Amino acid sequence: MNQHRAEDVAIDLRDPALYINRELSQLEFNHRVLAQAQDPSVPLLERLRFLCITCTNLDEFFEIRAATVLEQKALGVPAVGPDGFSPDELLGRIRERALELVDAQYRLWNEVLLPELAAHEIKVLGRDVWNARQRRWLNDYFRAEILPVLSPLGLDPAHPFPRILNKSLNFAVSLKGKDAFGRPAGMALVRAPRSLPRVFRLPAGIAGGENIFVTLAAVLAEFMDELFPGLQVRGSYQFRVTRNGELFVDEDDAENLAHALKDELRERGYARAVRLEIAQSCPREIASFLTGHFELDEQAVYRCDGPVNLNRMAAVYDMVSRPELKYPKFQPRIAIDPGDDGSLFDDIARADTLLHHPFDSFATVVELLREAAHDPHVLAIKQTLYRAGVDSPIVQNLVEAARNGKEVTVVIELRARFDEEANIALANRLQEAGVQVVYGVVGFKTHAKLMLIVRREAEGLRRYLHLGTGNYHPGTAKAYTDIGLLTCDADLAEDAGKLFQQLSGLGSVIRMKRLLQSPFTLHKAMLARIGREAANARAGRPSGIRAKMNALTEPAIIEALYAASQAGVPIELIVRGACALRPGLPGISEGISVRSLVGRFLEHSRVYWFANAGDPEVFGSSADWMERNLLRRIEACFPILDPALAARVVSECLDNYLADNSQAWLLQSDGSYRRITPGESMPHSAQSHLLAQVL
């Protein structure tokens, strides 16, 4: 076991006490997102949107992270990670912090957002405030639009408990009396149809306003008795079950990965239950009945003081046109404008171009691919796709390129979590157009972001390259911060060609000149550079590490950062989500600061900077410093070679964010976060600063 000395005391840098638990750190991120919803300086409808984001985040947390811990408990795994928590201990801590989050969500909804929305004439009407006219209209709506779609199920030996789909809205109904066949009524289930909107607008003439809404759940609860004529409805209670969202496919044994995934996707909605959300008013005996059926204990039950899925309130944000209650719209910059007669290829050939989304338009990437699809000099296009989105212009241009006779190869990651079905359909569409589709490498998700275009020019073949930190998804490019590099640097382009060769063919590891890639060189290269900074510090040479990423959990990287801090290296980290490193520990990490920034845009860019004894290195990457990214995925990390562009990356992605005193949170050594405030300093918001350069 490696040991280092600090202040003449031997310190084991693998001591579990030095590591924050990943799952608990991820929950802390969700609390920071909720703080945006609680912040009165944020536009009101954006606060509603942030609240909804915390709900979808929590869903995914239970589907993936909590579900994984439950599986480890079932398998008898003694410790989950480098922090040393047992699954039982971790599940207890998860529940404690998740309960606090759920309580804060519903208090915010009931006590703050609902009244403030109403003050702006945006109302979500509960059953208790419907007037007689509204109730009549809703009753007519129920009978005409909802009742014909419903299929209530009475529970008895002939009607056993049905399969309940993951995250679907259901009602447990308690009944009294006898039915038409003389059978005593007891319990029934009613599933809210997925084909109907969960939130809908009342007609202005009935509502008395333009933005008055009612939930499907409220309508179902109010008129539930019409589903059971002649019986007494003693109570109806919303519930929602969350299930394990991981797919289990033995890729080595799967003859066809796409077919194997299709089979597994059919069952994902009915996987093992991990959480039960029920109405606050649900009686204990009904809650016990449900937990018994889903094979859950009381620790998995979360009572909701309102709709069991607050995320459905996002429909209100979409349906209300009140610009003054949302973030101001902006028009991103066009980084390259070749004009009517120009070519993006000419501009890229003259100089590298840096794109910083969403402040620089993603349309430049789409336009480059569109031009390549129709340019008679372009011979081949090679592209990775992890998440592309529905009706993506990227995909349409790839189809056009294939139809125009280009040699098009696309590496599609079928196992992109929760996008598997969409990616299978995407692969089929591309194959039908004549695109060569590759599913990557068995056992390693392809997460790298590359687009390579081969073009015949007067001097011979030239390769044009786009490298990015984010997905080829025009939608997320408007909401996520990412950087991209457009270049025709010969070494980078050659390396990218080799990477595509590895993905589509067979052969040994290919040595690359400039690109670092997982799982072969990136992890080792990061450890080597961190170690180099430590050596430089000990020798009195300039040293320093600054990095921005989504998560930092890989134990060997954290251990190396601790050792570098002990050597005197100043380390400044910007980690949006989970961070397992504890900063500020005496003798270990006093020289390390970790901050998280939550704002209008989701921070997604990965940027690494190393002082390198006065000759700094700057990288962009698709990889976070996580075990999966560095050791179990195909990732690409690229140097920013142009000094002016490297300086821009440092200025915009590092200096700018490290100066933020308005939307940044500082990680404490105990794993909690403290929000940074301007105090007497001039307020500085990193995202607002970048937006000001666009507006």
Q: What are the residue numbers of the active site?
A: 447
Q: Which long-range contacts (CB under 8 A, 24 or more apart) does 298-301 make?
A: 299/91, 299/92, 299/95, 300/273, 300/274, 300/275, 300/276, 301/276
Residue 628 to residue 445: CA distance in whole angstroms: 9
Write the CB contacts of 266 (distance below 8 Å, at least 6 apart in sequence): none
- CA–chain centroid gap for 650, Å, is 25
Q: Where are the alpha helices (DSSP H) in 21-161?
A: 22-38, 44-60, 67-75, 87-107, 114-119, 132-141
Helix (H, G, I), strand (E, B) or coil at 27: helix
Name the nearest CA neighbour of 465 among 561, 320, 377, 353: 353
Residue 519 to residue 500: CA distance in whole angstroms: 14
Q: What are phi and psi of 457, to 5 degrees?
A: -130, 175
Write the CB contacts of 415 (distance below 8 Å, at least 6 apart in sequence): 247, 249, 261, 445
β pairing state of 460-468 and 450-457: antiparallel
Name the nearest CA neighbour of 635 among 440, 444, 447, 498: 447
Residue 577 to residue 26: CA distance in whole angstroms: 6
Based on the number of CB atoms within 10 Å of its own CB, is 421 exposed (0-12), middle (13-18) or buried (19 or more)?
A: middle
Helices (H) and strands (E) in the chain, counts: 23, 29
Residue 492 to residue 389: CA distance in whole angstroms: 27
Write the CB contacts of 73 (distance below 8 Å, at least 6 apart in sequence): 87, 88, 91
Q: Name the token pair of 269.
A: 């909605």
The residue written with tokens 């950087």 in the block is: 483
- CA–chain centroid gap for 470, Å, is 12
Q: Name the token pair of 491.
A: 């070494």
Radius of gyration of the chain (CA): 27
Q: Name the token pair of 47.
A: 């606060």
Q: Name the token pair of 52.
A: 């909804």
Q: Dmax of the chain from CA atoms?
A: 90
Please write down the HEC assignment for all residues of 436-491: EEECCECCEEECCCEEEEEEEECCEEEEEEEEECCCCCCCHHHHEEEEEEEECCHH
Write the CB contacts of 487 (distance below 8 Å, at least 6 apart in sequence): 348, 352, 353, 464, 465, 467, 493, 641
Q: Name the token pair of 494.
A: 């050659």
